Chain A
Amino acid sequence: MSVEQRYRWIYKPLVAAACLAPLAWLTARAAAVGDLSLGPDPSRELLHSLGRTALNLLWVTLVVSPARQWLRAPQLLRLRRMLGLFAFGYAALHFLVYAALELELDPGRLGSELAKRPYILIGSLALLGMLPLALTSTSAMMRRLGRQWQRLHRLVYAVAVLALWHFWWQTRAALREPLLYALILAVLLGWRLWQRARVTSKSAPARVPERT
């Protein structure tokens, strides 16, 4: 089996199944399959679980590039689009549940929440930022945009920072979890900066000593 076939028939389906598992689990709990339930405060549980899964998948998406190098497995890139799209999917569901259950589909409430609560605004911006990335994720769009594609998709770094901020802002007292997400993001983004600095210093022409 070629690498391409292995990805197509084994790895990608496995990753897709793993990405769908949280949704299946939440659905089973919401539908009260067997003894399952979402607990005493189901809409909060659903909302938080979807948001958390979106955050997790976004972080996994950002792990792909460094992991290709660390594991010497450049072919991992083939999984990145799917991971990113699932992250977007969960973020969109997170917003829909918020709009439907928390705001009860009242646009006036959405307006006032956006105006009054910065973390809602920041979360919405993060979701909006993911939209062009999802829309331009097809191979055709990649070809069409060429070099611009990469530039556009650097937006994901801003989205990650906004998403973290959105999460951080809601914590009452226990900062341990958002801190952990922040540390991981710092490593992931720091690694990229370091790579960039290394590559530019390598490719930069030798310095000419200044004449005195």
Chain B
Amino acid sequence: MRRPRSLRILPSQITAPEVFHDRRRVLAALGFGAAALAVSVSDARAAAMPSGAQAPVGRQVRSGTPRFTRNAAYRSAEPLTPFDDVTSYNNFYEFGPDKSDPKARAASLLAEPWSVEFAGECELRGRLTLEDVLKPHALEERIYRFRCVEAWSMVVPWLGFPLADLIRRANPTSRAKYVEFTTLHDPKQMPGQRTAILDWPYVEGLRIDEAMHPLTLLVVGVYGQWLPNQNGAPLRLIVPWKYGFKSIKSIVRFRFVEREPRTTWNVMAPDEYGFYANVNPQVDHPRWSQARERRLGSGLFAPRIETLPFNGYAEAVATLYRGMDLRRYY
């Protein structure tokens, strides 16, 4: 993707993971509590930002730099996957089937202006501009592991807010058992949609309790920046305990429904991609094992990492699936 020079991030501007973690240690050593970690942008990255960056969190102007706090509960002991890898290795078939296609071809996506539709079993129905969607929500940075169904993984600092907060605003009725998400369908902006490699538009879904779970994040940025187009600008989902394809990109519609939504990959190959798609090392994809994963950016000879149940978030989410046969509901 070609972006104006001013928006391009030089590798030198990205905080090295060591520095990043060191900052936390230093703060902790100085006796700052969790509150200190939650103040507005306050590390090496902030140095490159205009002084206005310290202004209180409020209405976002997407052309500038996002304002956010760091959620101390979601940090990571593992090194972050470099920005260049996070933004150049993407499955986003709307721009082509190769991992390098989205970065090369996503410039045609118009992420601004953007609006989102609310439909189905909820009170807040109709269209909202993205600005109005974001307005009441404070953005926070959370570092999550991201595990693709293809057995590679990343560690990514996302910027967003809990989907639950938006769902509360939408005020779903008691009949809303699921949330269905839809990606933009516009072959002019998304050249990959000119070929029927998938049944466009891309649709994903969550059970309402999954959608309301505090880990489920609506994401607008990554690495302190607004989302690059290839990562699903301007609004995407991140469900860290599920395979990456559940984390739908470039969302234009939320629909609250009573029945399980027909989700794209599940319809296309039901024996390979379940509706739940919870990360599970015990249940193989028919064509490959899910027991281990390749961490992006860790080098050619880096040993594989053992994949954890629910991608390491079992403690927080396993209760959602109590009593369910996870081999059957994969």
Contact = CB atoms under 8 A, between A and B. Distances in A.
Interface in A112-162: 113, 116-117, 119
B294 A44 contact: yes
A173 B97 contact: yes
Contacts of B299: 42
A46 B294 CA distance: 14
B198 A43 contact: no
B297 A40 contact: yes
Given A41-B294, A173-B97, A116 B284 contact: yes
B152 A113 contact: no
Contact of B197 (A44, A117, A173): A173
Contacts of B296: 40-41
Interface in B263-301: 268, 284, 286-289, 294, 296-297, 299-301
Interface string B68-84: 00000000000001101
A122 to B, nearest CB: 12
Contacts of B294: 41, 43-44
Contacts of A4: none
Contacts of A183: none
Contacts, number: 49
A43 B81 CA distance: 16
Query: Interface size class for chain B?
Result: 20 to 34
B93 A173 contact: yes
B152 A41 contact: yes
A117 B284 CA distance: 10
Contacts of B286: 117
Contacts of B304: 104
Contacts of B289: 109, 113, 116
Contacts of B81: 40
Given A169-B287, A173-B93, A174-B97, A101 B300 contact: yes
Interface in A164-194: 169-170, 172-176
Nearest to B81: A40
A39 interface: yes
A19 interface: no
A30 B301 CA distance: 10
Interface in B79-99: 81-82, 84-85, 88-89, 93, 97, 99
B287 A43 contact: no
A117 B81 CA distance: 30
Residue with the greatest number of chain B CB neighbours at <10 A, chosen from A40, A104, A169, A175: A40
B85 A40 contact: yes
Contacts of A170: 287
Contacts of B300: 30, 38, 42-43, 46, 101
A113 B294 CA distance: 17
A101 B84 CA distance: 23
A175 B268 CA distance: 14
A12 to B, nearest CB: 32
A14 B295 CA distance: 39
Interface string A28-69: 001000000011111110100000000000000000000000
B56 interface: no
Nearest to A117: B287
A101 B301 contact: yes
Contact of A117 (B88, B288, B301): B288
A174 B85 CA distance: 23
Contacts of A43: 294, 300
B288 to A, nearest CB: 7
Interface string B122-159: 00000000000000000000000000000010000000
Contacts of A104: 303-304
Contact of A44 (B84, B152, B268, B287): B152
Contacts of A41: 89, 99, 152, 294, 296
Contacts of A174: 93, 97, 197
Contacts of B198: 173
Given A116-B284, A169-B287, A40 B301 contact: no
A41 B170 CA distance: 40
Nearest to B196: A173
Contacts of B297: 40
A40 B299 CA distance: 8
A119 B195 CA distance: 26
10 contacts: A38-B300, A40-B81, A40-B82, A40-B88, A41-B99, A43-B294, A44-B294, A117-B288, A172-B97, A173-B197
Given A43-B294, A117-B286, 13 more contacts: A40-B82, A40-B296, A41-B89, A42-B300, A46-B300, A101-B300, A101-B301, A104-B303, A104-B304, A113-B289, A119-B287, A169-B287, A173-B268
